[in-house]
Amino acid sequence: MARELSLKDIEVLKKVAPECAGLECAGSRAPYRSILPPLSNHYAKNEEDFRARISVLSDDELEYLLSLIRTGEESLGCVQPHYMALFLELLAERMGESTAGDILRIHTELHEC
C-alpha cells in the first residue's frame, strides 16, 4: 500500500540511515514509501552494516515498524532476501519467535516490489 512517510517514519529512517539526505530513491526519483526497503537497497553496505543499523532501534520503534507491517503500510517486498533474514533474526531475538514467524508469513503472502 503506497503511503507518504509520516514524521515518525522519517525519524525512524533517519535513525537507521543518518546519511539519508532526501526522501526519494536516487535511481527512480520515486518518493520513499517505506523504511526498510530504502535501508536495504540504498544505505546498508553489507549484512553486518544492515544488522548494526536495525539493532539501534528501540523496542518501541520495532513495535512501530511491526504495526506498519501488519497493516500493510510498511512494504517488505523490496527488502533484499539476505537482509530480510537478518531482520527476522533480530525480531526473533528481541520480540520472540512467534512475532518473527508472523512477519515471515506476511512477507511470504504479500511479496511485492
Domain that holds residue 31: 7-109
**Domains of the chain: total:** 1
Q: Is residue 2 part of a domain?
A: no
Q: Is residue 38 part of a domain?
A: yes
Q: Is residue 53 part of a domain?
A: yes
Q: Is residue 34 part of a domain?
A: yes
Confidence of residue 78 (pLDDT cuts 50, 70, 90): confident
Over the stretch 12-68, which tens digit does the pLDDT of each residue have? 999 999 998 877 666 665 678 899 999 999 999 999 999 999 999 999 999 999 999
Does the pTM surpass 0.85? The reply is yes
Mean pLDDT of 83-103: 96
Q: Is residue 13 part of a domain?
A: yes
d(CA 108, CA 60) in angstroms, rounded, equals 24
* Top mean-pLDDT range of 21-25, 70-74, 82-86, 108-112: 82-86
Mean pLDDT of 86-110: 94
Q: Is residue 1 part of a domain?
A: no
